Structure 1
Amino acid sequence: MSGSWDLRIAAEFFGTLILVLFGNGAVANSFLKDTTGNGEAGQSNGGWLFIALGYGFGVMIPAMMFASISGNHINPAITIAQACAGIFPWSEVGPYIVAQFLGAIVGQLLIFMVYWPFYQKTTNKDLILGTCATADGAGSKLNGFLAEAVGTFALVFGATGLYRGMFFHGNMDLANIGVGLLIATMVISLGGPTGPALNPARDLGPRIVHALIPLSNKGSSHWEYSWVPVLGSIVGAIIGILLYKVFFGL
């Protein structure tokens, strides 16, 4: 990280904003009624791959823009995990997380602004919530927790290896592309049960927007589930980075 403190906070804010704008924006284009990405009867023409690419590029592009400035965490689980592993100062965890949550909130507000007419046309409350936050398709908090923990474990373990592995050593751009592909793969392979979040800010920030936005047909924000993607992703991230540290070092 080479940026000043102010630049690092700005990078985390804008990086998370882009992640949510591209990722949740792809979901909105797939789910909402009459968008160009939506087919008949609420079925997406783009499919799950359409959404996976949105999240993949939503991580890869900020990584190329901001990795050298802030490390491009754009995820409180990664910030906390790196602090637990001793490679990020605990004194900076709080400001990073605040910037990440604010970026996620602003990103979701921009999605509502762009897609507002289509939100008003959509009557399926689950689809509207799906453009903001996650839920477990099996109706099980345990299944949701396991899905988020395993997914984030694989994400952090894999991303740590990409950035620190010998193949990408000294070539940050290739590593950033690899991380984008890793995110897309995680969404395709392990995203079926929950969405997924893999990131507390990506879920909780937009869920707050969903709760506050004045949309009559939006339904419940399901706060009873909100702790699952937050805690699950943090636990998975900590296990992922510590396991990598034990076997390969940091």
Structure 2
Amino acid sequence: MRFKRSQEFVSEFLGTLVLILFGLGVVAMVTLFPSTPVIPAEVIKGGYTNIVLGWGLAVMMGVYVAGTVSGAHLNPAVTIALAATGRFPWAKSGYYILAQLLGAFAGAAIVFAVYYAKWIQIDPTLEHTAGVFSTFPAVPGFWPGFIDQVVGTALLMGLILAIGDKNNAPPGANLGPFMVGLVVVAIGISFGGMHGYAINPARDFGPRLFSVIAGFKNNGFIGSNVWIVPIIAPIIGALIGAVIYDSLIGRALSRAQARQVYRQEMEQIHQ
């Protein structure tokens, strides 16, 4: 049992690490290598299509890495929602979430190390590029970003359950991660502007914590409550998404499957 837990821990750590490497890597590319030679005094906002596609591929790769061993939660909100709906034991939730946070922190550190030489050219005082690591609101205030994150994560959780539901025409085993990646692309395209669509507390908090330790200014943590939204809202959103799917789709599919099995058994008895 202890060996299995260590395998699951490593799986969640590596899966989240890969997710963050590709995800933050594409944001760093857009920010540090802009298409225009003049760097504005704020985080570069170009290349959004690259960012959306990059994060979708990042999630897909992370799920491929960790799917077989740990189920590839890669997201504390997903872990909590699965546990709350009886799909995952609460006893495992703690070390899953710890692995996700550590993987996200390590991924941020590696991205910074890879791009360090360019980083100190573009932003030598680390005052303007904390947005590479974490999300920030487009509109001041708590509620606009909070609502955005709740809706985005509810969609993520509900669609993850729909894709993985064996009673709901699921894709083949190798297509599952691809479909989840497309879900993240869709959320980014449709709901990415208000608060950067973190939809994952580990994805935001781990890299944000690294940015604080690395000395990035305006990081949304010290002297600010920006960091709270991408932690609380995704958890609430994932719970809402899971409950809605179970109530309106999942249980109905389970009942239909049970009736079908019952009819088949009755037919066999009467043959």
1:220-244 superposed Cα distances (whole Å, 9 cap, x missing partner): 2212211111001000001001111
Task: Tell me which structure has the larger Cα radius of gyration.
Answer: 2
Q: Secondary structure at the match of 2:189?
A: helix
Q: How far apart in 2 are the matches of 1:142 and 1:83?
A: 27
Shift of 1:88: 0.5
1:248 deviates by 2.2
| Partner in structure 1 of residue 93 of structure 2 | 93
Quote the offset at 1:247 in angstroms: 1.6
Higher relative contact order, chain-length normalized (CA < 8 Å, sep 6+): 1
Residues 163 and 74 from structure 1, CA distance in 2 versus in 1: closer, same or farther, beyond 3 angstroms?
same
- Aligned 1:167-246 pairs, distance under 5 A: 167-168=169-170, 171-214=172-215, 218-223=216-221, 224-246=225-247
2:72 and 2:250 map into 1 onto residues whose CA distance is: 21
Q: Distance in 2 between matches of 1:249 and 1:166?
A: 8
Shift of 1:127: 5.0
Distance in structure 1 (CA, Å) of the matches to 2:250 and 2:4: 27
Q: In the alignment, which residue of structure 2 is the partner of 1:56? A: 56
The percentage of aligned residue pairs carrying the same residue is 34
Moved more, 148-157 or 127-136: 127-136
TM-score between both structures, scaled by the size of structure 1: 0.90
For the residues of structure 2 that align with 1:208 and 1:199, how far apart are their CA atoms?
Answer: 14
C-alpha separation between the residues in 1 aligned to 2:73 and 2:152?
Answer: 16
Per-residue CA deviation, residues 195-232 of structure 1 (Å, 9 max, x unaligned), is: 12100000000011000104xxx322212211111001
Q: Which 5+ residue runs of structure 1 have no aligned equivalent?
A: none
In the TM superposition, residue 114 of structure 1 has moved relative to its aligned partner by 0.6
Q: Secondary structure at the match of 2:174?
A: helix
Q: Secondary structure at the match of 1:194?
A: coil
- Distance in 2, matches of 1:191 and 1:179, equals 16
Structure 2 gap segments, 5+ residues each:
252-271
In structure 2, C-alpha distance between the alignment counterparts of 1:167 and 1:126, rounded to whole Å: 49
Aligned residue pairs total: 240
Q: Distance in 2 between matches of 1:140 and 1:147?
A: 12
Q: 2:238 and 2:52 mapped to 1: Cα distance?
A: 20
Query: 2-side partners of 1:120 and 1:232: how far apart?
Result: 33
Tell me: CA distance 1:84–1:109, structure 2 relative to 1, closer, same or farther (3 Å).
same
Superposed, 1:1-250 pairs within 5 Å as 4-32=4-32, 35=33, 38-40=34-36, 41-42=38-39, 47-123=47-123, 127-164=128-165, 166-168=168-170, 171-214=172-215, 218-223=216-221, 224-249=225-250
**Kept in 2: contact 1:149–1:233 (CA 8 A):** yes
Task: Find the aligned partners of 2:52 and 2:87 in 1 and give their Cα distance.
Answer: 29
Per-residue CA deviations over 1:145-182 (Å, capped at 9, x if unaligned) read 1111110001111111011153225x121222111111
Is the Cα contact below 8 Å between 1:151 and 1:190 reproduced in 2?
A: yes
2:133 aligned partner, one-letter code: C
